[in-house]
Amino acid sequence: MSEQNSHLASNRLLIKKYLQEHSLVESNITSFNDFVERRLQEIIDSINEEISREEVDLWLGKISVGKPEIIEADGSKHQISPIEARLRKVTYSAPIYLEVSTGNKEFTIVELGKIPIMVGSKLCNLHNMNAEELTRSYEDPKDPGGYFVINGNERVLVIIEDLAQNQPFTEKTSKGFILRILSQRGSYRIPVTVNKAPDGNIFVSFSRFKNVPAMLLIKALGITKDSEIASFIGKETDSLIVSLTGSSSISDTEEAVMAIGEKMNIQGTKKEILTRVRSRIDSAFLPHIGTKQDARKDKAVTLCKMIKQFLISQELGLETDRDHYANKRVRLSGDLLSDLFRVNLNIFIRDLQHNIQKIEKKKKFYSVKSIAKSTLFQHRIESAIATGSWIGERAGVTQNMDKTNGLAVLSELQRVVSSLPNEQENFKARTLHPTHYGRFCPVETPEGTSIGLRKNLAMMAIVSTAIKTPEKELTSQLEKCGMKQLK
């Protein structure tokens, strides 16, 4: 008995030490910190590559976020605390600065507007304050943070549960066995499906392209030899032979592109058809691999591997367990804000280019700083957090904080909501899965239509953020393990 008591005492000490160093809701705060420190610049860099510079030569540089502040009626600024934001019914937000350049001019730092700051994050004015300092600032030392203050209201970003992106799933449907992958780049997700016709031909569907012969698409992406395609797939079946035979007469990339254009009823001259088909394949087929011409070979090889997995899964009758948590992802504040920021920044860039173009046509002198500040950018982000209406027609992403007691606060901040609709049965998604053990509370879920679809993280569960390993470093490590890079 004494041994058991000592074991319990040591466990209590370990938990106490852990709680002194960590917060029970630190996953959302860590995700927000990652969004500000890393993801914002990644979004800027990716948008910089995609900007059309035909009319206006616009370039983006570094982005930075200041500390939460308020501008008084007399124009003076001072740092604001969350309690002041609550009492004065204002938003606890910080200015966001971006380097912008037109033509060959030097970068000018412009203020995009303000972005709401999460209480308890690294940018929060309460960060690193001890209990005594927090008390002097009229803040609760035991407040875990992890929420926003919008117009004086405390709003929580609900954690969203979703299927893993860029990962293939096999399943049986009414139309037969299929392989599906949700290819995501930025905030855009395009489902890519591989299926087989009754005659054995393998087809691929994505975006507006429905039932494109898989071998035609591989040849359009640059692998034209049948023997090379067969070696990449590495699984000889009747379906593969039938599919290869169907496109054996095509031995050139251009021919394959024209054949796809013909099947999809794309009109125009030969040059126009080639351009349209290639641009659609580049942008809509497996965009997570890349949207440029140099990514085509990688896409072709990936499609070969997808076909191999599809053939093996169909032969063995293997379906992916979609409810296994290796096939799920939980989207925290950083993921949700990244999507919101990317979409609104694209709108801001288009407006900025349009304004610069109008001024240049009038041949007037202008300063980028004077036309770049956008109150609309700030309003859209604040409005989304205030109402919970997110991009992709998603509602209820944010909720008002329930501060009935300390446990209610923790429950609110640890809540996970499935993206599946409440009206559908989805029995498997609602039931407990063995992989929930240690990750989710098996008890806390509401009665009614949302039972099992609204869960809570286990008290000491931690959600990891994206790996920051550079691509070159990762590939070199894989090569050391014996893997070979395709040329």
**Contact between 159 and 457 (Cβ < 8 Å):** yes
Question: What separation, in Å, do the N-terminal and C-terminal C-alpha atoms of the chain show?
Answer: 65
Hey, how many other C-beta atoms are within 10 angstroms of the C-beta on 432? 13
CATH topology of domain 168-287: 3.90.1110
For strands 77-79 and 93-102, give the pairing: unpaired
Q: Beta strand 159-163 with 328-331: parallel, antiparallel or unpaired?
A: antiparallel
- Rounded to 10 degrees, the C-alpha dihedral 214/217/218/223 comes to 150
Q: What is the pLDDT of residue 392?
A: 75
Amino acid at 166: N
Segment-wise mean pLDDT, segments of 10 residues, the chain, 487 residues:
70 72 80 91 86 79 90 86 91 90 78 89 89 88 89 90 89 86 84 88 88 88 85 82 82 86 83 87 88 87 91 87 89 89 87 79 68 76 89 83 85 88 82 90 88 87 78 82 75
Identify each DSSP E strand in 174-326 by its residue range: 176-185, 188-196, 202-206, 209-213
Residues 6+ apart with CB under 8 A from 67: 79, 94, 123, 125
What is the predicted pLDDT for the residue at 47? 86
Phi-psi region at 199: left, alpha or beta (left = phi > 0; alpha = psi -120 to 50): alpha
Three-class DSSP labels, 113-158: EEEECCCCCCCCCCCCCCHHHHHHCCCCCCCCCCCEEECCEEEEEC
The continuous run of DSSP H or E covering 253 comes out as helix 253-263
Residue count (the chain): 487
Q: Per DSSP, what are the bridge partners of residue 398?
A: 157
| Chain center to CA of 7 | 43
Q: Per CATH, is 14-162+331-456 categorized as 3.90.1100.10? A: yes
> What pLDDT shows up at residue 486?
65
Query: What CA–CA distance (Å, rounded) separates 453 from 416?
Result: 8
**Percent composition of the chain: helix, strand, coil (DSSP 3-state, to 5):** 45, 20, 35
Query: Which residues lie across from 160 on neighbouring strands?
Result: 331, 417
Q: Give the number of other CB atoms < 10 A from CB of residue 190.
A: 17
Output the pTM of the full model.
Answer: 0.85
Tell me the domain boundaries of the chain: 14-162+331-456, 168-287
What does the pLDDT read at residue 359?
76
- The whole-number pLDDT of residue 407 equals 85
